[in-house]
Chain A
Amino acid sequence: MQKIKPLDHLILILGALFLCVPVVMALMSSTHAAIDIHSNGLYITPGSHGAETYTKVLTSRGGFTGDVTGLLMLTNSMIMGLGFAVGKIVLSMMAAYALVYFRFRFATLIFWAIFATLLLPLEVRIMPSYQVMSELHLLNTYTGLIVPLLASATGTFFFRQFFRSVPDELLEAARIDGAGPVKFFIDVLVPLSKTMMSAIFIIMFIYGWNQYLWPLLMTTDESFFTLMRGIKSILQVWVGSQIPDYNEAFALAVLAMVPPVAVVVIFQRMFIKGLTESDK
């Protein structure tokens, strides 16, 4: 038995509180009326307006066109997150497959070129990307929202490292078993990469979910609004004597947290399972 050390626990408890309290406060405050929050500050105890706030946030029509509901924004964010995660996994797996298994000249050079794009975040290349999408008439489409950001250096790098760790004999056995490049990829590599795929899925889903700047630029049509933009627009109404709907902003923030948390919880299970079970 290890001795319980009070100091260690104190540090752990403080750390946990530091991370949890803001979330709890957001959740609790979202159940109070906007006016109370404005006058009394944030709450740490539950209030009585919870149900109506969440119903309103999810269903009431807002925005300039009056067509934007919370549910629509949630759907849009979901499409972004899933589109990003799935698209990036597919694309970077195929890129890594080509880099690792096909013998072509300059493969290493190409890989480092891809890797170097990590140094160029979206913000640096946002103007040319916008230009391209605009000329392809892809503004205000899901394609325009998702496709330009699909190329992933991170994903390609992870999958490349993983494929390189797969024993060569497996490829050779598959060749003798009569599996061509496509069959080998689908029958052997994809099932082996499950763990890797779930890890990348977590990272990329959250990356897509949290996108703010890109959708802001790419879409002017309000039916493409994502949750991130919704939260922002609620707080933008501070004109004249109007009080921003703090409670609604908090409710949206809480809602925005649910899917990423769910993704992490679901895939972490698979992730850990994959890690502990795989034994080559």
Chain B
Amino acid sequence: MAHLSLTNVGKTYGGSAQAAVADVNIEIRDGEFIVLVGPSGCGKSTLLRMVAGLETITQGEIRIGERLVNQLDPAERDIAMVFQNYALYPHMSVRDNMAYGLKNRGESKAVIEERVAEAARMLELRPYLNRKPRALSGGQRQRVAMGRAIVRQPSAFLFDEPLSNLDAKLRVSMRMEIRKLQKRLGTTSLYVTHDQLEAMTLADRLVVLNGGRVEQIGAPLEVYRAPASTFVASFIGAPAMSLLDANVENGQVMLDGHALAPVAHEAGPVTLGLRAEDLRITPGGVPMRVDYVEELGAQRIVHGFVGEQALAIIDTSEAPLPETVHLGVAPSRVHLFDARTGRRIETASQPVAVPAE
């Protein structure tokens, strides 16, 4: 157990002018579950592998506990990693897979036996201890990979997209298990995923990465409620937040010539962010031409156009829709971004603090 601190961490591959990861500063508290999330190629796996010691660190410092680990071998960093394809040793039984790291560290037989038994009990792997990985299902292999991490009793767990090889149903149940396990063990964890849903449900705090840089760090709801940039806004939440070109005139956001909501911001062009779930169909509002409807049972997602700009809203009624509907939104749910930089514009009408649900 330890806290983890990344200071100005960066990585530039030899022969490449552009940094794959740059200026990452994260302070991770002891026992915290941090999720690194971003699209493929954003550097999240590289960052994780730098913490693990599988990639060299070209700038900055990584500390695990109080130890500077920049120059240490992976085995000396006191971490355990769970890989996307599990990376179990195919010729070893489940028991040996879990025990291998401990054997290499010269733990006594009794200690190894005890820890493997404990991990097997926790992960319900006891009936499979003598099987080879190939005789296990995907979910069981994933458990073994986690078992291998647990028996080490490391300062930190590193997860590299551990659920992406599982089918959708198993992914949901494994997600819960990982969360519960981490809570019970209280081990600091760093988890990489490209799935925003996984990120939202698992994290104590999210780190949204884009192009090797941190876009935003915050609790899932904070990030959801107040995305720091258009990138975060479009990445977190499903369906994605609609981003539209709009104007502020006379203290009103004007969308396609119609006033949508009052805002305290100087006049000029802005990027307007609207979450589908915040929009309501109201009589008299901004007119939207309905394009198509996705029925999801409990709700439906209505896709349409305001002027020439695409927009999605979630509607819970089942009444047939006219060709044109009118939209309204609570002023507190309007997100404004700088039209040029894409950074969030804080306005007085938007409470930054997350209201209790």
Chain A residues near B (Cβ < 8 Å): 167, 169-170, 172-179, 183, 187-188, 191-192, 194, 277-280
Q: B101 near A192 (CB under 8 angstroms)?
A: no
The total of Cβ contacts below 8 Å across the A-B interface reads 66
**Could you tell me the distance between the alpha carbons of A167 and B160 in the complex, rounded to whole angstroms?**
15
Q: Residue on B with the closest CB to A179? A: B104
* Residues of chain A with a CB closer than 8 A to B87's CB: 167, 169-170, 172-173
Point out the residue from A170, A172, A176, A277 that lies within 8 Å of B101, measured CB to CB: A176
How far does the Cβ of B338 sit from chain A's closest Cβ, in whole Å?
Answer: 41
* Residues of chain A with a CB closer than 8 A to B53's CB: 175-176
* Residues of chain A with a CB closer than 8 A to B255's CB: none
How far does the Cβ of A197 sit from chain B's closest Cβ, in whole Å?
Answer: 13
How far does the Cβ of B127 sit from chain A's closest Cβ, in whole Å?
Answer: 20
Q: Mind listing 19 A-B residue pairs with CB under 8 Å?
A: A167-B87, A172-B52, A172-B74, A173-B83, A173-B88, A173-B148, A176-B74, A177-B100, A177-B101, A177-B104, A178-B75, A178-B101, A178-B105, A179-B104, A183-B104, A188-B89, A194-B91, A279-B90, A280-B90
How many chain B residues sit at the interface, stated as a range, is 20 to 34
Q: Does B21 contact A (CB under 8 A)?
A: no
Interface of A is mostly: helix
**Could you tell me the distance between the alpha carbons of A183 and B73 in the complex, rounded to whole angstroms?**
15
Interface of B is mostly: loop
* Residues of chain A with a CB closer than 8 A to B101's CB: 176-178
Rank and list the top 7 A-B pairs by shortest CB-CB distance, nearest first: A178-B75, A177-B101, A169-B87, A178-B104, A173-B87, A191-B91, A279-B134
Residues of B302-329 at the interface with A, using a CB-CB cut-off of 8 Å, are none
Beyond A175-B73, A178-B75, is A192–B91 a contact (Cβ under 8 Å)? Answer: yes
6 more CB-based (< 8 A) A-B contacts, given A169-B87, A183-B104: A169-B86, A170-B87, A170-B89, A172-B83, A173-B87, A176-B74
Q: Residue on B with the closest CB to A172? A: B54
Chain A CB within 10 Å, residue with most, of B74, B86, B88, B92? B74
**Could you tell me the distance between the alpha carbons of A190 and B311 in the complex, rounded to whole angstroms?**
58
* Residues of chain A with a CB closer than 8 A to B86's CB: 169
Q: A192 near B90 (CB under 8 angstroms)?
A: yes
Q: Does B208 contact A (CB under 8 A)?
A: no
**Could you tell me the distance between the alpha carbons of A174 and B85 in the complex, rounded to whole angstroms?**
14
* Residues of chain B with a CB closer than 8 A to A167's CB: 85, 87
* Residues of chain A with a CB closer than 8 A to B104's CB: 177-179, 183
Q: B79 near A176 (CB under 8 angstroms)?
A: yes
Q: A175 near B134 (CB under 8 angstroms)?
A: no
**Could you tell me the distance between the alpha carbons of A192 and B90 in the complex, rounded to whole angstroms?**
8
Point out the residue from B74, B84, B85, B91 that lies within 8 Å of A175, measured CB to CB: B74
Q: Does B150 contact A (CB under 8 A)?
A: no
**Could you tell me the distance between the alpha carbons of A117 and B53 in the complex, rounded to whole angstroms?**
39
Q: A169 near B83 (CB under 8 angstroms)?
A: yes
* Residues of chain A with a CB closer than 8 A to B54's CB: 172, 175-176
**Could you tell me the distance between the alpha carbons of A191 and B105 in the complex, rounded to whole angstroms?**
21
Point out the residue from A170, A176, A191 that lies within 8 Å of B81, measured CB to CB: A176
**Could you tell me the distance between the alpha carbons of A215 and B276 in the complex, rounded to whole angstroms?**
83
* Residues of chain A with a CB closer than 8 A to B84's CB: 169
* Residues of chain B with a CB closer than 8 A to A173's CB: 81, 83, 87-89, 148
Beyond A169-B87, A188-B89, A191-B91, is A176–B134 a contact (Cβ under 8 Å)? Answer: no
Q: B85 near A187 (CB under 8 angstroms)?
A: no
How far does the Cβ of A167 sit from chain B's closest Cβ, in whole Å?
Answer: 6
Q: B90 near A175 (CB under 8 angstroms)?
A: no
Point out the residue from B89, B92, B105, B134 that lies within 8 Å of A277, measured CB to CB: B134
How far does the Cβ of B305 sit from chain A's closest Cβ, in whole Å?
Answer: 46
**Could you tell me the distance between the alpha carbons of A280 and B54 in the complex, rounded to whole angstroms?**
22
Residues of B19-56 at the interface with A, using a CB-CB cut-off of 8 Å, are 52-54
* Residues of chain A with a CB closer than 8 A to B80's CB: 176
